[in-house]
Structure 1
Amino acid sequence: MIASRRQSLKHGPGRLVVDGRDQTVTRKAQFAFRPSRRQERELHTLLRVCREVYNAALQERRDAYRLAGETIRWQHQFNQIKHLKGVRDDALAYGIQPLRGAIMRCDEAMQAFFDRIKHGETPGFPRFKGAQRFNTACWDEPTSWKLRDDRRTLYIQGVGDIRLPKSAARQVGRMLGKGGRPVTLTVTRRRSGPRHLSRWVWRATVAFNDVAVEPTTPSEGEGSLVGADRGIKVTLATSSGEMLTMPRYVAAQREHLAELERAQARCVKFSREWKRLGRQIARGRRKAANQVDNWAREQAATLVGGFGILAVEDLELRNMTRSARGTVEEPGSKVAQKQGLNRELQDAALGKLTIRICVKAESAGRRVWMVNPSNTSRACSQCSHTDRANRPDQATFSCTACGYEANADLNAAANIADRGRTAETDWKVAGAPSLPRRKSRRRPRTDTELTQAA
């Protein structure tokens, strides 16, 4: 499993987020599909019904606490669905699973609200969902939907059989070939361009449990460890001496998209040319996102394939990209410069790279440590002398104590590797404990119960 910050194990200067001990993992197959006009109408109706259930569940929780001081649980709201029979048969036409999925989304939003209060963060009470802000339907169990035996047809109750593209069939075939068992389904809609364009893009995500892990032998040996430093100028620098920079996919598209947006602003709104430019803008954004994700996948696969243990600096990206604008009473300084830095950080997609490394490591049976990044760029990897003057510029490291000189990013990667080794040693001294596995809040139903429900 891939542990979150709160679930990870702390040992020395690092947190263990992937221990590589799982025999099976959970994986998702994500693909686009094109429903017929009738099926698209049914899917829109399904989302409208789910939105009504979500808003009703949230309203009931608010009223129960405000008027009676009571807390409503998701189990109680699940039991209320049966009372819709004879009253809202149009909602039950799609089965109870998508309605339960909407209730669970409301419950997760409430739990996240209380967790933020518990940890001293900005609470942000859950809001009611408008028609433009509810675009996802969820099935938490393999009932009311199924993948047909031909692997190219997705059946959804109330919608019918949806033909899937060949790429989706390949994804599903890979999961089933590794022993995967489809358990959940998520259907999402989004606009292909500006909101007023009529075209919708539909995507489905099928989660498979029990997908077999295929451990591989790293090319550098089982106990080999590598440190990875992430940055803007050099996207990924490793302690093995590699320096990888992601091409400026997003920046190149931004300049092109700015020209298209200026051209669109000169067109008559909702005209044919205005809509055509809107579709081009949407395609450009999707292309840049896909290029970034593909680059991150390739580099993560190469890194995981070479080493048995990976140490990555634990950056607080949310804090690093926080706006410097400030408030009216206390306005910030150098706001434009900070906006440019935030844009560069977001273009580098450092968080996505880490996610891809963790996913590849989990599938290959590797361990991943997130180590404390404090002073990794200022400390000498040879004598451990730490001084701001050790780094005269962005690319150069020159130790003022021992005279060691190297590229600043490679020196930081070496420090990250040292902290990863320290965390690895402390973990082994503690008995090499495993990560705590997640426990479902809902009772898993047996195959007999699922068959009867279907």
Structure 2
Amino acid sequence: MWVVDGSIWIVIASREQSKRYGPGSLVVDGTDVTVARKAQFAFRPSRKQEAQLQELLSISCEVYNAALQERRDAYRMASKTLSWQDQFNEVKDLRGVRDDALAFGIQPVRGAIKRCDEAMSAFFRRVKAGQTPGYPRFRSRRRYNTAFWDEPTSWAVNAETRSLRLQGIGVIGLPKSAAHQLGRMLERGGVPKTLTVTRRQAGTGWAWRATVGFTGVAVDATPAVSSITGVDRGVVVAAATSAGDLHRMPKYRRALRTDIADLERAQARKRKRSRAWKQLGTRIARERRAAANRVDNWAWHTAKAIVEKTHVVALEDLRLVAMTKSAKGTMENPGTNVSAKKGLNRELQDAALGLLGVRICVKAESAGRRIWAVNPRDTSRTCSVCNHIDPDNRVDQATFHCTACGHGAHADVNAAINIAALGRRCEDAWVAAGAPPLTRKKSPRTRRKTTVAPST
């Protein structure tokens, strides 16, 4: 993201937002001097502060449900569609009527309304695209776990004193890791803009986590070794580059799958919601989080290794939702090879190809690189030397041998070279068009041109 005069603009483009040049789409243009980043950290409130945080979440849940109900009633009774501005303007009417809802500041109330607006916007977007709509549902207090501040008012963070101040709750101490993250962002010129506080069940209690969004974080551009690098993503080799590097994902999730299955069978034999049942649920959640954290850590390091060597990265535009779609079919038209497809879907999800692509885009944005998303069709069976296309060129998963010119190489590296060639064509078309940057889409909810940041 990019911020000018307090307005938030989109920098990493989605498939719908990106503009096409030649055989690919521009996802990250690498022209930004500053970017938006976030710092995530856990914290431990006191008993009194935790009770106040629970009350804050209850109020946020009530506001979310009320905002959703008001929109439903307005459409059913008057065929009128309410906007977030309409509901924001109603918050002032809570004074003197529901002062408890404003005890934590006006921002958490607006944050709940914004969350409802995002759910409704996503619903209308899916309707327009012809997808399954999924109308927003009311939330129970037990499952509403997030409070959001979209402006730096009624809260502040301080890296030196390692503290987080929240209106209506007080000053909460932070661990050293949080101070390190906040300090790094502030050293690069970051300005705290948004805050999210989230809870999750941890055994018999709650674990709390805060996310501070920063804008104006300086880009850390480093000299590149090569001009363009193609990246082929797959199940066996998670990322193969045109330079010949092979990055294989350790089987973190596969290693824990058997242990998790044993724990789930043991939990199924316990009485539901008993102490033993909850303890096993906590262990299962801990194992899954550990695997997810390891996968994410691997993706960050791999993305950094790929991005720091090149100026332009060409990625496959993989349709992962379609690739992992179930083959079960329906009662009238049952699918075939359902078990095999289920196993392939599990392997694709374990490889975390989508997560790796996102991390590469984020690292590229921070380093001032460009990202192209190209169509991967025929890249795995095209010879990178003579451009001969033949399914027989791919001998097996790891071996490529051209039936026309006899060229041999690692199959994934050969595909990555072809992807790099497509990226080079994108570069040429982009330069011929005048090298226009990505169109920055202004946030529709920007309410002020300038915002005063809290003291740090």
Q: TM-score, normalised by structure 2?
A: 0.93
- Encode CA deviations 1:284-339: one digit per residue, 9 max, x unaligned: 11111111111111111111111111111110111111111112222222111111
Residue type of the alignment partner of 1:215: A
Residue 245 of structure 2 corresponds to 242
Q: Which amino acid aligns with 2:79?
A: G
Paired residue secondary structure (2:126): helix
Deviation at residue 274 of structure 1 after TM alignment = 4.5
How far is 1:247 from its partner?
Answer: 0.9
Counterpart of 2:53 in structure 1 is 43
Contact persistence 1:191–1:201 (CA under 8 A)? yes
Matching residue of 1:68: 78
With 253-262 and 224-233 compared, the bigger mean Cα shift is at: 253-262
1:418 Cα deviation (Å)? Answer: 0.5
Aligned partner of 2:7 in structure 1 is none
Equivalent position to 1:212, from 208, 218, 227: 218
SS at match of 2:285: helix
Per the alignment, do residues 279 and 382 of structure 1 end up closer, same or farther by CA in structure 2, a change over 3 Å counting? same
Is the 1:151–1:173 Cα contact (8 Å) retained in structure 2?
no
Say whether 1:292 aligns with 2:302. no
Choose from 260, 282, 286 the match for 2:285: 282
**1:205 alignment partner, SS class:** strand
- Alpha-carbon distance, 1:268 to partner: 5.6
- 1:136 equivalent in structure 2: 146
Residue pair 2:201, 2:207 contacting (<8 A) in 1 also: yes
Asked whether the 8 Å contact 2:229–2:312 carries over to 1, the reply is: yes
- What pairs with 1:218-233 in structure 2 (closer than 5 Å)? 218=224, 220-221=225-226, 224-233=227-236
Q: Name 1:377's counterpart in structure 2.
A: 380
**Structure 2 counterpart of 1:4:** 14
1:273 CA displacement: 4.9
Quote the residue 1:201 is aligned against.
207
What's 1:309 paired with? 312
Indicate whether 1:77 and 2:84 are aligned: no
Give SS of 2:437's match. coil
Who is 1:121 aligned against? 131
* Contact 2:191 2:453 (8 Å CA) reproduced: no
Structure 1 residues 350-394: Cα deviation after superposition (integer angstroms, max 9, x where no partner): 111111111111111111111111111121211222222222322
Q: Contact 2:192 / 2:453 at 8 angstroms: preserved in 1?
A: no
Aligned equivalent of 2:265 = 262
Q: Output the CA distance in 2 between the equivalents of 1:329 and 1:80.
A: 51
Deviation at residue 443 of structure 1 after TM alignment: 3.7
Deviation at 1:409, TM superposition (A): 0.9
**CA distance, structure 2, for counterparts of residue 449 and residue 289 of structure 1:** 37
CA RMSD of aligned residues (A): 1.8
Tell me the matched-pair count: 444
**2:29 matched to 1:19?**
yes
Structure number with higher relative contact order (C-alpha < 8 Å, ≥ 6 residues apart): 2
User: Aligned partners of 1:322 and 1:49: how far apart in 2?
Assistant: 38
- What runs of 5+ residues in structure 2 fail to find an aligned partner? 1-10
Identify which range, 119-128 or 26-35, moves more after superposition.
119-128
Deviations 1:193-231 (A, max 9, x none): xxxx4311111100001011121101x14xx11100000
* Cα displacement (A) at 1:109: 1.3
The answer to whether the 8 Å contact 1:186/1:206 transfers is: yes
- TM-score, normalised by the number of residues in structure 1: 0.94
**Is residue 416 of structure 2 the alignment partner of residue 406 of structure 1?**
no
Question: What is the CA deviation profile of residues 122-149 of structure 1, one whole-angstrom value per residue up to 9, with x for unaligned ones?
Answer: 2221111122332111100001111136
Amino acid in structure 1 at the alignment position of 2:398: A
Same amino acid, percent of matched pairs? 62
In structure 1, distance between residues paired with 2:297 and 2:112: 32
Q: Note the C-alpha offset of 1:275.
A: 4.2
Q: Deviations over 1:95-114 (max 9, x none)?
A: 11011011111111111111
